[in-house]
């Protein structure tokens, strides 16, 4: 099956710092999503980005599908950004559904 | 739009008991997915419904697991004869037909003692 690798596995930042999270995947995909999992386990949608670049406030993401990687940028980090960031890639299922395969995540801690 | 909801949020059960979880997708979302997440890992796909039809099942879904979506709205996931290895977070997601983006519920955390 498809392999998804995220780096770094752990990251500690001072509040206000910038960071880049990376996601590499092993095969062509038709879906790529970035999620933030909060301490209660809720997966929060950040970006749906199978290709191209998107920005949402302090966050932005770029996916280069031909080279099979995606980047998530966090600028001016805040303590509320702490948590686990997951990249998930999708492949088509019977009937047009989409099976997401997740990476192992980047554990981010933002300190004052 | 209240998002995907799941009940219960937490379940503690003894080994060998049966448990059932419920997922209510976002209204008008025809596709519904179940995933399982163990500690320190990303979620893993279990099964997928298009309306009431279960179209795909992972090898992770042993014969002790059964999922239904009888009227194409809410779904239930039942685990029979629970084992300690079933302890995990069970996540439900939904999406619109024709769209790939999935939206997740808050999950049901199962602990088997």
Nearest-by-CA chain B residue for A30: B100
Q: What is the mean pLDDT of residues A28-46?
A: 94
Give residue B97's pLDDT: 85
Flag if A102 and B50 touch (Cβ within 8 Å): no
Confidence band, pLDDT 50/70/90 cuts, at residue A66: very high
From residue B13, alpha-carbon distances to A17, A39, A61, B81, B110 in Å are: 44, 23, 41, 10, 8
- Phi/psi at A54 (5° precision): -135, 155
| Contact call for B48 and A43, based on CB within 8 A | no
Contact A43 B97 (CB under 8 A): no
Rounded Cα–Cα distance for residues B57 and B33 (Å) = 10
Question: What is the rounded average pLDDT for all residues in chain A?
Answer: 96
Residue A95, pLDDT score:
86
pLDDT of residue B1: 56
Bond from prior residue into B99 cis (ω within 30 degrees of 0)? no
Q: Which of A90, A94, A102 sits opposite B100 (nearest CB)?
A: A90
pLDDT at position B68: 97
Q: Which of A41, A93, A99 shows the shortest C-beta gap to B109?
A: A41
For A43, the closest chain B residue by CA position comes to: B104
Q: Chain A residue closest to B95 (CA)?
A: A97
Asked if residue A74 has pLDDT above 70, the reply is yes
Predicted pLDDT of residue B99: 84
Query: Which residue in the set A35, A42, A102 is minimally distant from B106, CB to CB?
Result: A42
Please answer yes or no on whether A97 and B48 come within 8 Å at the CB atom.
yes
| CA distances for B35 relative to A62, B13, B76, angstroms | 26, 20, 13
Cα distances from A112 to residues A21, A37, A81, B7, in angstroms, run 20, 20, 12, 36
pLDDT at A78 over 90: yes
- Please give, rounded to a whole number of angstroms, the shortest distance from the CA of B37 to a CA of chain A: 10
A10: pLDDT strictly greater than 80: yes
Across chain B, which has 113 residues, the per-10-residue mean pLDDT values are 91 98 95 96 96 92 94 95 97 92 97 98
Q: How confident is the model at residue A39 (pLDDT cuts 50, 70, 90)?
A: confident
């Amino acid at each position: 099956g498809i392999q998804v690798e995220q780096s770094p596995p752990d990251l500690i930042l001072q509040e206000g710092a910038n960071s880049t999270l990376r996601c590499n995947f092993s095969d062509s995909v038709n879906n790529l999503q970035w999620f933030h999992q909060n301490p209660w386990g809720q997966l929060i949608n950040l970006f749906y980005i199978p290709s191209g670049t998107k920005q949402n406030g302090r966050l932005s993401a770029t996916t280069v599908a031909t080279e099979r990687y995606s980047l998530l940028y966090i600028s001016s980090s805040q303590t509320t950004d702490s948590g686990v960031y997951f990249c998930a890639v999708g492949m088509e299922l019977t009937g047009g559904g989409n099976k997401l395969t997740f990476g192992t995540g980047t554990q981010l801690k933002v300190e004052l | 739009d209240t998002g995907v909801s799941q009940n219960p949020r937490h379940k503690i059960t003894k080994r060998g008991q049966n448990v059932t979880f419920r997922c209510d997708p976002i209204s008008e979302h025809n596709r519904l997915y179940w995933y399982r997440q163990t500690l320190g890992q990303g979620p893993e796909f279990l099964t997928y419904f298009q309306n009431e039809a279960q179209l795909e099942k992972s090898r992770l879904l042993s014969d002790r697991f059964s999922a239904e979506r009888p009227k194409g709205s809410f779904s239930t996931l039942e685990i029979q004869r629970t084992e300690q290895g079933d302890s995990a977070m069970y996540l439900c997601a939904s999406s619109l037909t024709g769209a790939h983006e999935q939206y997740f519920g808050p999950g049901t955390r199962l602990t088997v003692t």
